Amino acid sequence: MTGGVSIGEASRASGIKVPTIRYYEQIGLLPSPPRTEGNRRLYDAADLRRLRFIRHARELGFEIEPIRELLALAGEPDRPCESADRIAAAHLADIDHKIARLTALRAEVARMTDCSNHSVAECRVIEVLGDHGECLHETH
Percentage of the residues of the chain whose pLDDT score is greater than 70: 93
* 1, pLDDT greater than 70: no
The three-state secondary structure class of 68 is helix
Q: Classify residue 4 as left (phi > 0), alpha (psi -120 to 50) or beta.
A: left
The DSSP code for 101 is H
Q: What is the pLDDT of residues 82-129, one digit of tens each?
A: 999 999 999 999 999 999 999 999 988 888 887 776 777 777 787 778
What pLDDT sits at residue 120?
A: 76
**pLDDT tens digits, residue range 48-57?**
999 999 999 9
With vertex at residue 49, the alpha carbon angle to CA 74 and CA 59, rounded to the nearest 5 degrees, is 85
Integer Cα distance of 118 and 125 in angstroms: 12
Residue 19 CA to residue 36 CA, distance in Å, equals 19
The answer to whether 74 and 67 have CB atoms below 8 angstroms apart is no
Segment holding 73, helix H or strand E = helix 64-74
Cα gap 131→8, rounded to integer Å: 52
